[in-house]
Structure 1
Amino acid sequence: MVKFANSLNTDSTAMTTKEERQSFLEEMKDVRRIKKPNRAQVQTPRELTPGHLERQRAAVEKVIKDRNPLTSDMVEPLTAHDILAWQRPGIQHGVFRKLRLGQYPIEARLDLHRMTVDQARREVFAFVGDCVRYGLRSVIILHGKGERNPDGIAQLKSYLAKWLPELEDVLAFHSAQKHHGGTGAVYVMVRKSERDKQHNRELHGSR
């Protein structure tokens, strides 16, 4: 009985399945399969106007503006024994004399030895900015004499002589005394920060 019943159920199921499939095919006879290409559909890009092209070119060629004002052009060459001396108008003679003689305490130093001109340019700009920020007035920059150069040109010294007057925060500079490096180094006097100026005004006003 069990075997007979299973056989009956199997035949019945097969007939039902066959009829359902036949009915399904009948319903779907007018349906057509969508043909899909085996690749992504890429739309033709719209035509770019001259304005679009110009903006694209500007974006590609845009260079981040260099905030460093120090010149990167050629400068007048100096030798190992040339003395650097410069002061901004208004600097008192006695103040400049003390700077020249190295009588102000050295509050910070920057060593440019073994740097390229581009590296030194960045370092000098950042160094003077830091001096103003931290209230350092009298500092020294070691640039070397360039005595070993075949042409006898002190390259970093030559650029430094051009750079320092370009910085508004530099009030004066002079080649150092022998015990501080002589003509291979320079004393630099830095402007007071606005914070220090305000502090002095408050002290003066409180007297």
Structure 2
Amino acid sequence: MSSDSKLFKDALGELGGVRPLVQERCVALRREDMPTALVSRERRAAATRQAGCEMNPLSGEYLELVVPWDPLAFKRDGVQNGVYRNLRLGKYTVDARLDLHRHSVEMARVAVVEFVRDCIEADVRCALITHGKGEGRRQPGLLKSCINHWLPQLEEVLAFHSAQKWHGGMGATYLLLRKSARKRQENLERHSRRR
């Protein structure tokens, strides 16, 4: 017996012994045994699916499908109207691009999260995601709908809007991203020297 094993057994002995954890059986509840809140939540979910919404398998939330020709638009509180207008009009230089054509929903989700993280690390402020409109598909606008659902959940995204025609129109989205910690510190130092 190694010295480590002996030390471990001695330590266990000082604690008064070891007992195995009690495992409770998992039993599937019958429909009539379900709590009222769970039943009402399932009823709301069924009603939402019938109203034209799709279950998002990634987050467990409901994804409202976007019409392929509808613009995407989002702005967090604190983003100046002029800044948002310039983003919407495509006046900022696009420093990074992500093309999601031929991606599955799961591949797109992973790619979007990695893309936003990489943009923040590289101090990119304006980026473009090309997702397509999804016209002529069995589920029109699925990736576009996912982008519309995911981007507000990422705190690094300050605003987004459907792109201008020369950048892909309704099949692409501009992103305005938060400054990295390093850029914020540089701005703070630059502005404090002026005083």
- Per the TM superposition, whether the score is higher than 0.5 is yes
Unaligned runs of 5+ in 1: 1-48, 55-69
How big is the alpha-carbon RMSD for the aligned residues of Structure 1 and Structure 2? 1.9
Query: Is this contact kept in 2: 1:81–1:145, CA < 8 A?
Result: yes
1:106 matched to which residue of 2? 94
1:51 equivalenced with 2:51 (yes/no):
no
Q: 1:92 aligned to 80, 99, 103, which one?
A: 80
Q: Which amino acid aligns with 2:72?
A: L
1:184 matched to which residue of 2? 171
Offset, 1:205? 1.3
1:117 equivalenced with 2:99 (yes/no):
no
Query: Is this contact kept in 2: 1:71–1:163, CA < 8 A?
Result: no
2:159 matched to which residue of 1? 172
Q: Which amino acid aligns with 1:163?
A: W
1:125-162 Cα offsets, whole Å, 9 max, x none, are 011011111100000000000012145x2000001101
1:196 matched to which residue of 2? 183
Q: Secondary structure of 1:81's match? A: coil
1:35-67 Cα offsets, whole Å, 9 max, x none, are xxxxxxxxxxxxxx652868xxxxxxxxxxxxx
Q: Distance in 1 between matches of 2:178 and 2:100?
A: 22
Q: Secondary structure of 1:80's match? A: coil
TM-score (norm 2): 0.69
Q: Which has the larger radius of gyration?
A: 1
Q: Distance in 2 between matches of 1:130 and 1:156?
A: 21
Offset, 1:106? 0.2
Offset, 1:206? 1.5
Q: Secondary structure of 2:63's match? A: coil
1:205 matched to which residue of 2? 192
Q: Distance in 2 between matches of 1:122 and 1:51?
A: 37
Unaligned runs of 5+ in 2: 1-18, 25-57
Q: 2:126 aligned to 128, 138, 162, which one?
A: 138
Q: Which amino acid aligns with 2:163?
A: A
1:126 equivalenced with 2:114 (yes/no):
yes
Q: Distance in 2 between matches of 1:73 and 1:146?
A: 21
Q: Distance in 1 between matches of 2:124 and 2:114?
A: 13
